[in-house]
Chain A
Amino acid sequence: MRKTRKNIVVVGATPVGLEVARQLAQRGQDVSVVDDSKADVSKAVSQGFAVKQINLQDDDELRRVGIGSEVDVLFALLNDDASNVFLVISAKAIAPHLPVVSISGSRDTIERLYAAGATKVIDPYRISGYKIYELMHRSVIAETMERTVFGKVDLDIAEVHVEEGSFLHGKYLDELSLDEHYNLIVLGVVDRHFGDHLIFATDPRRHRMDSGDVLVVIGPEEAFARFHRDLGEEERDEPSA
């Protein structure tokens, strides 16, 4: 499911930025880190990261890093909320369709970052706070999720794109019984025509799948492999039939 290697720029040689870069690199993405603070850059370099120092307020330098051309996702992970907002605005001005992910240190900045054009704003403190709460009161769930879905191996959450002509096309969600056939649990489907909202699998309004829909599925990796093989075979069979 992580087939395509994406070109990602992380702005901010901060602890968060470096951690994100490390995680992404581990998942096989093509990551480069930039920052404009000399101190942060040299500190990151001494820790063994390849960090470039550029002037973040200069659009030409941003273009040279690849924004507006080959970069697929931009992460704005500077320490300072104002700098993040400025960076998001500059990046959006250069490349309006570039997905930009940022973090916010306080609640009111989240909205400002979205207003600036960020695609996704992560609030690390809110997430950490919730995790702690979950560890305290729903420790079983927290542990299960930690070990399976968010762990490195075991279970995967993945999206399956419904394509024209696949056997998923035109079917209802509850007809699939993927849990019996493939050991996969379908959480729901996102109909891209109606926004990013997840239509839950047991929703009383039955949803007929068509191309462009995305199924959200949980399952072990080998089950996914089998499922994709079957999907692929059918697609190949289709034209000859």
Chain B
Amino acid sequence: MAVSDFIIRLAYGLEESGRYQRIKAAAYDLLENPHARIRPYFDIFMMLLVLSSVFFLLYSVKHHLGVWSDYYEDVVVTLFILEYLGRMWVYDDVHRIILDEYEKSDLINEPFRLSRALWTIMRSKWNYVSSPMAIIDLLAILPSYRPLRILRLFLLFRLFKLFRYAHSIQQFSSVLREKRLELFTLFSFLMFVLLVGSSAIYLFEARETGGDIEGFFEGIYWALVTLSTVGYGDITPHTVEGRLVTMILIISGLGVISFFTSIIVSAFQEKMGEVRDRRVSLMLEKKKGYTVICGFGRVGQVVAEYLTRDKLPFVVIDSDEDTVDLARRLGYLAVQGKAERIGLLQTLGVGRSAGKILCLTGDDVVNVFVTLSARQLDENIEIISRANHHQTVNKLLHAGANHALEPFKIVGLIAGEYVGQPVAFEAIHGIVMGEDDIRLEAIRVPPGSWLDGRTIGDVPLKEMRLILFGVITALDRSSDQVRSHFDLEEQRFQFNPGADFVLLGEDMLLVFGHQYSVMRLRQKLKAGRWRKVNA
């Protein structure tokens, strides 16, 4: 009784200990978490460890290495053992199991039985120990008992350990696993042919009947060498019957080989898309704050163009194969699939490192659905959605979009402006659309810079060939001297402030001007001190 009391108290202690949880989380990140930053380094380190240890073991077959190589082997094995135990440790939470068991028995008013909890723990840990990867890990530790020659075989398992650390090998094995039915069929057929072939050759070519074959094992060896079209020629048939068997075996061997090749090739072809998608998500993992574009129609293409121009990272999702091909041809990261699938969004990092998601498909239902899914995955992600119908705007905002955009409404607005005043429209259109050299740009006043606290009149806008459109300030700034101001969502736009308007840090100047003029003003603000402009 006292023991189980003590264990329960210990389990509660662990559950509450922040330090224990942190250490365990760190171990999990190191060993198992595929998204942890440290994982790639750990994997590479372990691979080098495996390769170097195997190299030394192979080298020692012919050469004698000093004592230090034994030490090295000891270190490697110690690390392997630690890794093995560590993985077993993070596989589940023992204290959690005990507590669950305790609370369960508490709930149904039964005495807590330690044995049952231990049984559950044993079963859970056995699940880990009996998993293929854990077995390989264990076998990789064994070659250190070198006296037994057969144990050298386990050296190979150390190489198998590379599976754990290299993703491409994992993909290869998953391809094979997917085709296991076909491979099994092939294997059965191979066994059958092998059996028939080796029996026949043994019958006709045994030493006693005037041939080369020593025993049945040699028959199998010969049959396999012939079947695989390798044909060493160390054993050759001498009788007519034996040669007939050989010919039949060679023909069926061709069939087996081509069957095998076709299985592997088709499996890889089917997997190719997945492999490519995986590469995309791996490349994305290194980035942060990138944009996910759902729907690569014309709007998506235009956005992608602008993002490429600014060298900003993004990834495209589209369900149409041709469209995705187009995106790939343009050199964009692209994934074919339905953006509605929440799994796909997660693989692309929505909820982790994606900063923005754009729902730009031509189907409002999809846009609303994707908006909702993305908002569920990440509260802070910026969502911009396209509304093809006026009624959808509210739905999109309700689903969690930050902005909803109506392409048709924009056309309407533009048409309206155009009919009213074509000249002004043409002039402003290029500026607003960023197609002109003259741009409308926002310039932030860095706090503490020379501009902070100065008036508009102190800024030589005219000499720099800039026109001030207005200043964006905090909402609570007074606009007494400004003749017209407009409140935005979180800021205030002061239109055409006079020369004595005082600028403060974090204000933004909206200026019209040639992009070079804007750049120059920005540079001057960065430089931190003011040199007189030579107008």
Point out residues on A near B: beta carbons under 8 Å.
Answer: 1-2, 6, 8, 15-16, 19-20, 22-24, 26-27, 29, 73, 75, 77, 99, 101, 103, 105-106, 120, 122, 124-138, 140-141, 143-145, 147-150, 154-155, 157-159, 174, 179-180, 183-188, 190, 192, 196, 198, 200-204, 214, 216-220, 223
Contact = CB atoms under 8 A, between A and B. Distances in A.
B416 interface: yes
A204 B465 contact: yes
Contact of B484 (A131, A187, A220): A220
A2 B427 contact: no
Nearest to A186: B467
Nearest to A153: B486
A27 B416 contact: yes
B180 interface: no
B465 A202 contact: yes
Contact of A2 (B305, B356, B420, B430): B420
A122 B414 contact: yes
Interface in B256-272: none
Given A124-B410, A148-B493, A129 B303 contact: yes
Contacts, number: 213
A77 B514 CA distance: 34
Contacts of B84: none
B519 to A, nearest CB: 15
- Interface class of chain A by DSSP: mixed
Interface of B: 291, 297-303, 305-307, 310, 312, 356, 358, 360, 382, 384, 386, 388-390, 403, 405, 407-428, 430-434, 438, 440-442, 462, 465-470, 472, 483-484, 486, 488-489, 491, 493, 495-496, 498, 508, 510, 512-514
A129 to B, nearest CB: 3
5 contacts: A73-B419, A101-B418, A120-B426, A129-B299, A200-B514
A41 B411 CA distance: 20
Nearest to B430: A198
B486 A148 contact: yes
A150 B484 CA distance: 16
A196 to B, nearest CB: 5
Contacts of B513: 202
A169 B265 CA distance: 80
Contacts of A135: 384, 403, 405
B107 to A, nearest CB: 52
A95 to B, nearest CB: 16
Contacts of B291: 136
A204 B517 CA distance: 13
A101 B411 CA distance: 11
A144 B433 contact: no
B415 A75 contact: yes
A176 to B, nearest CB: 13
Given A127-B411, A130-B302, A147-B486, 20 more contacts: A6-B419, A16-B412, A22-B412, A120-B426, A122-B411, A127-B414, A128-B407, A129-B302, A131-B410, A133-B302, A137-B312, A138-B442, A140-B442, A148-B486, A157-B425, A187-B427, A190-B423, A196-B423, A216-B423, A216-B424
